[in-house]
Amino acid sequence: MSVSPSHGEETCAAATSGRYRVVERRSFGPYALLSVLAPPLAAVARPGQFVMVAVPGPQFRLRRPLSIHSVDGERLRLLVEPRGEGTRELVAAGVADVLALAGPLGNGFPLEAIEAALLVGGGIGAAPLQFVADELRRRGVAVTGVFGFRDEAQARLAGAFEIDDLWVATDDGSVGRRGTAVDLAREVGAGRRASVLACGPAPMLGAARAWAAESGLTGYASLEAHMACGTGACHGCVVPTNRGYLRVCVEGPVFPFELLTDEPPAAAPEAPPAAPAEGPR
């Protein structure tokens, strides 16, 4: 009952809701890479999609939207940052624990027409870019990654990625170059014709959009938002776009750069427009 998406692909009734077992857990500093045995989800997931994961325990907790980091056979991998109370409990999940989750959800990155890709990741936002890199590699597309992290502790996340041509920067220069992911993109991507596929915090995405526009590059951003349902019901996770407020969970999380705007959409008319005062034009 909402704006129908005109970009990306609509999910095609392939999502599943169920309980799945954690079969592997790897730590990267405070972060965890959880492998969940979820064959029905792994079979249909596409790069850029996400799952809604229930926080274990009796308390009322909204499900947490987590990007799919990668798919390995019948396993989904989820990269989790202990950000708040809910994600701290998810990070603590161990092998043999069971997680209730629903997905895959959202549109994912449109990769079909991409001939060369520059993946721009910031912090935990880099999570879905492994799946993107895997799929592009499978298609024989050249992939370069530029990831930015706050500091050495957060840069531990880089260990969760296997991307051949991966460049890392930190804000404090403790690991890799000093600067941001977009600073790296300017340097590494100079003169290249590549699609920019970005995922990270809002300021990074804004800088990536601005740089791509300057450079005449097309690109897509995967956004994050607080969500309640994750399935299009509540309209809680909207972002302003040139087509009004769109839901990150359904029309996104991946949006073409040119669709995004920092301006809130004009309010719908408060009253029906007045009838024309004059005769037919």
Partner 1 sequence: MSAGGDGRPDLSVRLAGVPLAHPVLNASGTFDVLESARRFGPQVLSPFAFAAYVPKTVTLEPRTGNPPPRVTETAAGMINAVGLQNPGVAAWLDELPLLAPLPVPVIVNIGGRRPADYLEVLRRVEERLATGQADLPDVVGYELNVSCPNVGRGGLAIGTEPRETAALTAAARELTRRLVIVKLTPNVADVVAVARAAAENGADAVSLVNTLQALVLDPVRLVPYLGNRTGGLSGPAIKPVALRMVWEVAGALDVPVIGMGGIASGRDVLEFVACGATAVAVGSANFTDPDAPRRIVAELEHELRERGVTELRALRGCALGRG
Specify the residue, 25 or 46, whose C-beta has the smaller distance to partner 1: 46
Window 52 to 71, contacts with partner 1 (CB under 8 A): 54, 59-63
Closest CA to 19 of 44, 33, 36: 36
Give the chain's largest Cα–Cα span.
74
Write down the least CB distance from residue 55 to partner 1, Å: 9
CA pair distance 179, 225, nearest whole angstrom: 25
Q: Does 100 bind partner 1 (CB under 8 A)?
A: yes
CB-wise, 1 or 96, nearer to partner 1? 1
Query: Helix, strand, or coil here: 208?
Result: helix
Instruction: Measure CA 95 to chain center.
Output: 25
Considering beta carbons, is residue 175 or 228 the nearer one to partner 1? 228
> Of 33, 71, 80, 102, which lies in the binding site for partner 1, with binding defined by CB under 8 A?
102
- Relative to beta strand 219-222, strand 64-67 is unpaired
CA distance 193 to 105: 30
Stretch near partner 1 under the rule CB under 8 A, chosen from 5-13, 20-28, 70-78, 114-122:
5-13
In the bound complex, what is the minimum distance in angstroms from residue 143's beta carbon to partner 1?
Answer: 29
- Candidates 118, 28, 9, 120; CA nearest to 78 is 28
CB 218 within 8 A of CB 255: no
* Closest CB 61 distance from partner 1, rounded Å: 6
* Strands 166-170 vs 142-149: parallel, antiparallel or unpaired: parallel
Smaller CB distance to partner 1: residue 58 or 73? 58
User: Where in 104-123 is the site for partner 1 (CB under 8 A)?
Assistant: 105
Contacting partner 1 within 182-241 (CB under 8 A): 225-229, 231-240
CB contact at 8 A, 220 and 255:
yes
Q: Which of 95, 86, 43 shows the shortest CA–CA distance to 66?
A: 86
Is residue 3 a contact point for partner 1 (CB under 8 A)? yes
269 binds partner 1 (CB under 8 A): yes
Q: Does 275 bind partner 1 (CB under 8 A)?
A: no
Residues that bind partner 1 (CB under 8 A): 1-3, 10-11, 13-17, 54, 59-63, 86, 100, 102, 105, 225-229, 231-240, 244-245, 250, 264-272
